[in-house]
Structure 1
Amino acid sequence: MLVPWKLRLCLMALNTFYHVVTANLCLGGQDIFATVKENSPTGEFIANLSIAGDPGANSIRLCLTGANADWFFLEGRTIRLNSSSSRVLDREVQGSVMMAALTCYEDDIIQSEYRIMIEILNENDNRPGFLPETIQPRYISELTAVNSVVFTVKAKDPDGDTIIYIIDRSLPDAHYFRIDLPNSGKVILDKPLDFETKTQLHVLIYAVEMNTKEKYNITATVTINVVDGDDQYPQFLPCSLIYEDQNHTVCTSPVYTVNITEREQNTILNFSPGQIYAEDGDRDLMTPLIYAILSGDDNGRFIIDHETGEITITRRVENRLLTPLFRLRIMAAQMNDLKKYAVATALVHVVAENHYPPYFNKTTYKGFLIENSSPATLVYTYGNQVLQVQVIDGDFKDGVNPKIHYALHPVDPSTKLFHITQDGIIIAKTDHLRAFDRHILEVVATDQESGDVANASIDIEVLQRGQPVPRNPFGEERLFGDMNAGMAGGIAAMVLLLALAAFFLLIRLVRRRRERQDPADRGSVALGKHPNVEPSSPCPTHQAP
């Protein structure tokens, strides 16, 4: 039998051994290092525990603690992912590593603690995106040199993939730019800009993943506003267009013309096709211009306002026969750069004074046509005579002004079926006309020297085949009154030949007569004058600045 103190010592030893065995149940574990893919579903396996005890069968308790402990849960001896449809494991949000701790308790006393480090594996689940500040509208001067870097675009991929940049070549403005280094995003000017041709460009740029199988991409359209540069010369207006296409317009300075008389002085000249005026070719800059007469001012007879371009005649012309024409060379230059200038010509014609406006000898002419298939036929009037309109000008002894120009003004589409010669004879496209048709034409006679205009009407009827042309309603006999249209046409042709011969003979006689006359007594045929030029208006004496 054991003595009491030996028994007590034995009991103490057994009790100590029991506690050691129990504590060893939290031992045997180790720190956990594992990986998991982002976007993994809930319950995804993370790692197994290696502690000696069984949490379900023994008196131990395991707890997960730490910053990311809520992303895990324990299932027996296994650690699993605690995600949900509303809380997805995203590497770009959580970072690349999650950390927690596994604590083992026995009788609420911590026996051991193990670290948990989980690496989140990246998946290509994001598309690249442009940085907003790199795709804003750009303002680029048209003077920017070709091969210059005009702007840089930048995109980022949350997954860290390598990005390359490509310009969409299918768009019309793409040929202005290029990208030499695809992964740099630097856009280079490949073609000169021209504000006068195009003020705004659009370029579509792709940002594409280079190192992934998905090749996710995104696009951005960058707007380029072309800024006007001082690269154009002044241009006199109105511009005389000589060439135009989609990208270019080429025009020349107009020739300004004006008519004056021998009496005019201290008068501002009203030119045609408009007052002398120029603009800076860079329309967005509109640099102020200065005007000057380079030649032809005739010792100060003509002066120009340097700011407005108005030309004033300061003294009268003594003899229009000696100086019938003045030719002025006008310059318009930029005030900030006199090397940028344009030159135009102004013609000043000295003409005779116009006292009487021209007028038609009738207000309404009556014409007839006989229906036939001929492509062109003369229009006849009463008595089968060829219809000829005539303007009388009292400024000429014989009433005939050689500067009169005839034209048919469109009243309705049928006007295109008729043509008027400068002798006042009407020709019709008979094959387009039908019997019983009636057409009212308006004929306008313009004095190309003075700009005076006279108007008259022509009433034309289309007769049936075989129907005679009516006689004059007042009973006057006409030369071809009893002849049919065919006979009248033949006789008219003969008369026309005789008239031409007589006309040339008359010209020859007139020339001989003029050669015998003194220059001051020659006919009053005025020198050329531009159409539609209004009379000049007097103004106070203007001195050149």
Structure 2
Amino acid sequence: LEIPVTILNVNDNSPVFPQGNLTVVIPEDTKVNTVIVPREEVSASDADMDTVYCELITVTGTDGYFAIKGVNNPTIYLQKALDFEKFNMTTLVLYARDRPVGSSDPTNTATATINVHIEQADTKPPWFKPCSFVNTDNSICISSGYTGTVNIYELSTEPLRLQPGPLFAVDPDYLINEKIVYSVVGGNAEKIFSVDSDTGNLTMKRAATSLDSYSLQVMAAQINNIQKYAIASVEIKVVGKNNHPPYFEKNTYYGTVFVNLVPGSFVFQSGNLSAPLKITAADDDFINV
């Protein structure tokens, strides 16, 4: 007696991911549409030979940055440009089910957790400090410039004191913190000023000889990429030194005049009728004048 037996495939197995938990590390400057998790790492299989349908869930606050290509055998790709300052890690959850969404049939599911770590990239030029942010995501910070004064005819041997503080720039990609070098790129035609390439200290090479103002342009650039740079204005005003009051060189002057002279006639030195009387004053702020 032969009895044919037909074995029916019952949906009694859940989908299975190759890994239930995986971690990926991607640079901040990864290009949009780049695949960050390949298909072979997140393709779920089903022992019942059912078609597997996938759905990606992201953590609140990072919606829109990552997505899947393909519902059945997906890859995970970057959908929106990253910003390390906004977030540097997130968690994605990939759901797999053996029935389409909305199906009334019994459904088995599985999940895979993807931990995404973002590495800071060298994306920003230097910022002169202090500076003010000019956009809502605080990615651009502009310095209002620096001011200072020097005395005429005086060669300062110390770094110039500037307001609101020393000439100083930082790499806003703070984990990279690339070395910054300084140079004067404008406003220094007379070569009076010099900047230390390492520290940014502004010094004098020679004294100023006129009561002018100098509008210097100082550049701070990354040593590994001069195209990442910032420019700050430095306004230096030359002023007359005024630490001492003027004084007469003699306490008493003696002169001689003749009778019946017309107004405007000379007064002569006492004892030397051929030399006009000179009254002179001096000022220690101008010893060479």
Amino acid at match of 2:128: F
Alignment of 1:41-80 (within 5 A): none
Partner of 1:260: 150
The reply on whether 1:234 has 2:123 as its aligned counterpart is: no
State which of 225, 239, 244 in structure 2 corresponds to 1:337.
225
Between the aligned partners of 2:242 and 2:22, the Cα distance in structure 1 is: 66
Amino acid at match of 1:276: L
Amino acid at match of 2:51: T
Cα distance change of structure 1 residues 327 and 288 upon mapping to structure 2, 3 Å threshold: same
**What TM-score, normalized to structure 2?**
0.71
Partner of 2:84: 195
Between the aligned partners of 1:169 and 1:285, the Cα distance in structure 2 is: 28
Cα distance change of structure 1 residues 329 and 223 upon mapping to structure 2, 3 Å threshold: same
Question: Residues 291 and 304 of structure 1 are in contact (CA less than 8 Å); yes or no, is this contact kept in structure 2?
Answer: yes
Partner of 1:490: none
The reply on whether 1:303 has 2:189 as its aligned counterpart is: no
The reply on whether 1:143 has 2:32 as its aligned counterpart is: no
Alignment of 1:432-451 (within 5 A): none
The reply on whether 1:225 has 2:117 as its aligned counterpart is: yes
Amino acid at match of 2:230: A
Return the offset for 1:353. Answer: 4.7
Identity in percent: 31
Return the offset for 1:137. Answer: 1.9
Between the aligned partners of 1:170 and 1:301, the Cα distance in structure 2 is: 58
**What TM-score, normalized to structure 1?**
0.40
Question: Residues 167 and 174 of structure 1 are in contact (CA less than 8 Å); yes or no, is this contact kept in structure 2?
Answer: no
Amino acid at match of 1:343: I
Return the offset for 1:264. Answer: 4.5
Amino acid at match of 2:214: F
- Give CA deviations for 1:209-234 in whole Å, capped at 9, x if unaligned: 13782222233342222223333222
| SS class of match (1:215) | coil
Amino acid at match of 2:227: K
| SS class of match (1:210) | coil
State which of 152, 177, 186 in structure 1 corresponds to 2:75.
186
Question: Residues 203 and 222 of structure 1 are in contact (CA less than 8 Å); yes or no, is this contact kept in structure 2?
Answer: yes
Higher deviation after alignment, 166-175 or 310-319:
166-175
Amino acid at match of 2:46: D
Partner of 2:207: 316
Between the aligned partners of 1:278 and 1:170, the Cα distance in structure 2 is: 36
Cα distance change of structure 1 residues 355 and 216 upon mapping to structure 2, 3 Å threshold: farther
Amino acid at match of 1:136: L
Cα distance change of structure 1 residues 220 and 353 upon mapping to structure 2, 3 Å threshold: farther
Between the aligned partners of 1:140 and 1:261, the Cα distance in structure 2 is: 55
Return the offset for 1:255. Answer: 0.5
Question: Residues 303 and 313 of structure 1 are in contact (CA less than 8 Å); yes or no, is this contact kept in structure 2?
Answer: yes
Q: CA RMSD in A?
A: 2.8
Return the offset for 1:289. Answer: 1.9
What stretches of structure 1 move > 4 A for 4+ residues in a row? 30-35, 352-356
- Give CA deviations for 1:113-165 in whole Å, capped at 9, x if unaligned: xxxxxx6x5433333233227x4121112332222222132323344432121
Partner of 1:426: none
| SS class of match (1:272) | coil
Please state which structure has a larger fraction of its residues in helix.
1
Partner of 1:24: none
Alignment of 1:477-496 (within 5 A): none
Number of corresponding residues? 238
| SS class of match (1:178) | strand
Question: Residues 267 and 314 of structure 1 are in contact (CA less than 8 Å); yes or no, is this contact kept in structure 2?
Answer: no
Return the offset for 1:351. Answer: 3.6
- Give CA deviations for 1:62-96 in whole Å, capped at 9, x if unaligned: xxxxxxxxxxxxxxxxxxxxxxxxxxxxxxxxxxx
Between the aligned partners of 2:196 and 2:59, the Cα distance in structure 1 is: 53
Question: Residues 237 and 254 of structure 1 are in contact (CA less than 8 Å); yes or no, is this contact kept in structure 2?
Answer: no
Partner of 2:43: 154
The reply on whether 1:292 has 2:183 as its aligned counterpart is: yes
Which structure is higher in RCO with an 8 Å CA cutoff and minimum separation 6?
A: 2
Between the aligned partners of 1:169 and 1:200, the Cα distance in structure 2 is: 12
The reply on whether 1:215 has 2:68 as its aligned counterpart is: no
Gaps spanning 5+ residues in structure 1: where?
A: 1-29, 36-118, 357-394, 396-545
- Give CA deviations for 1:162-181 in whole Å, capped at 9, x if unaligned: 21211236833231122231
Question: Residues 57 and 94 of structure 2 are in contact (CA less than 8 Å); yes or no, is this contact kept in structure 1?
Answer: yes
Cα distance change of structure 1 residues 248 and 215 upon mapping to structure 2, 3 Å threshold: farther
Gaps spanning 5+ residues in structure 2: where?
A: 246-289
Between the aligned partners of 1:137 and 1:355, the Cα distance in structure 2 is: 68
Question: Residues 22 and 113 of structure 2 are in contact (CA less than 8 Å); yes or no, is this contact kept in structure 1?
Answer: no
Structure having the higher Rg? 1
Between the aligned partners of 1:160 and 1:273, the Cα distance in structure 2 is: 71
